[in-house]
Amino acid sequence: MMVSAGAGGLLGYLFHFVVSRQLPISQYGELQSLLSLFLIFGIFNSALSYFVVKHTSVFAAHKDHEANREFAEFLSEKVSRLALALFVFLFVVSPLLAKLLHFSSLVGFWVIGLATFFSTLAVIYQEILRGWKEFAFLGLVGIFAALIKFIAGASLAYFFHRASAVSFSFLLMALTSWYLAKYWSRKKIKKGEEGSQKKTSWKEKYFSEVSLQKTALKIFFFSLTLVLVSNLDILLVKYFSSAETAGYYGAFSLIGKIILWLNLAAVSVALPGACVDGYKGKRLGKKSVLKVYFLMTALALGFLLVYYLVPEFIINLFFGKKYVFEPRLLWLFGVMSFLLSLLTLEANLSFARHDFRVVYLLVATGGVMIGSVATYHQNLKEIVAAFSLSFLVGYLSIFALNWFCEKN
């Protein structure tokens, strides 16, 4: 997962490397906002992701291919209807959002809505791969999708120089993810069709209908708050500050989030096992958690050292000379992303333990983010300091929750 995250991340940065040079700074800031909206509109995707991996990892632990196949069919029917309803809703509210965030075109919103539809369908199959620990295939899905986004985004930016045009690359990425994840995950499902002839439903063997409904609602609110905390920053900067500042912030935070994206690979690998422990009522393995902490910290320190020593080189390498603006702040963006990755890890550990009190702490973290950047947004230094402090407060509160629960 770390290797595939690195390869996919490299393609993602090549996308921004090329696109940022072809778009005006204000349009690049708009593109970053569209990307953030894509992630926030995908709140249901995030909830679905956690829901699928939480249940399919249990099927994998029991090597029950038939239950996995039935579960996938059950979700596909339900989710396709919800995804269509979500797309219609996003299409209707897009004029209001475009006006509120001062966007130059509605096209980007419509395309992002359609991309959200297909990415929602892809989540089911991606998380089946994760639950069964098929990380190689899951990584390949991400790499091919990132490659398609890069090729399409670079071409569209070169010919049109508009954020709304480049947004079509997100749609093509979503289509690629959906097709490949569905194709590879069905290799696992097919074993259920050829194997055991047991007639016992997966609901009877593992999860009741009532528990599914309760869990789904809790997971939705958990993923809603976590996605908002992770992706609200660029929209807050776009709202409270200028378009140029949003463009600079988008570029700097994107470099800083190399740390976040690579660290999330470690979280991704640890989550299925943690979910199985939570299902069995076992304590989470402390050695495994410490290994994840060590890996994430070591990786972050390496990047922070580079960001501190050669910030101008890094910024110029990724985005060009026009983005070399207060380069000494780059390491602070790395710190901000590292704190966010630690917050995400602890939130996922709470989720795996079925402790949804973490939702209240995530809501409080979002409130601190809004309040801090509303007060301090005069320059990039104030903004990155405000978000870093918010993530630190959120991380410490969730860490304390997990520590007290484990101790007691």
* Backbone region of residue 372 per phi and psi (left: phi > 0; alpha: psi in -120 to 50; beta: other values): alpha
Q: What radius of gyration do the chain's Cα atoms show?
A: 21
Do residues 44 and 228 lie in contact, with contact meaning Cβ atoms separated by under 8 Å? Answer: no
For residue range 56-74, what is the model confidence (pLDDT) as tens digits? 888 888 888 888 888 888 8
Sign of the dihedral through C-alpha 248, 251, 254, 255? negative
Q: Which residues of the chain have pLDDT under 50?
A: 192-197
The pLDDT score that the predictor gives to residue 171 is 92
- Distance of alpha carbon 229 from alpha carbon 352, whole angstroms: 19
For residue range 337-391, what is the model confidence (pLDDT) as tens digits? 999 999 999 998 888 888 889 999 999 999 999 999 988 888 889 999 999 999 9
The pLDDT score that the predictor gives to residue 395 is 96
- Distance of alpha carbon 274 from alpha carbon 53, whole angstroms: 11
- CB atoms under 10 Å from CB of 78, counted, come to 13
Pick from 311, 265, 281: nearest CA to 4: 265
The pLDDT score that the predictor gives to residue 196 is 46
Pick from 357, 394, 70, 86: nearest CA to 232: 394
- Distance of alpha carbon 58 from alpha carbon 312, whole angstroms: 48
Do residues 270 and 288 lie in contact, with contact meaning Cβ atoms separated by under 8 Å? Answer: yes
Q: Where do the domains of the chain lie?
A: 1-195, 207-408
The pLDDT score that the predictor gives to residue 204 is 65
The pLDDT score that the predictor gives to residue 388 is 94
- Distance of alpha carbon 318 from alpha carbon 372, whole angstroms: 29
Q: What is the largest CA-CA distance in the chain?
A: 66
Do residues 388 and 339 lie in contact, with contact meaning Cβ atoms separated by under 8 Å? Answer: yes
The pLDDT score that the predictor gives to residue 107 is 82
Give the predicted TM-score (pTM) of the model. Answer: 0.71
DSSP string, 266-326: HHHHHHHHHHHHHHHTPPP-HHHHHHHHHHHHHHHHHHHHHHHH-HHHHHHHHH-GGG-SS
* Backbone region of residue 92 per phi and psi (left: phi > 0; alpha: psi in -120 to 50; beta: other values): alpha
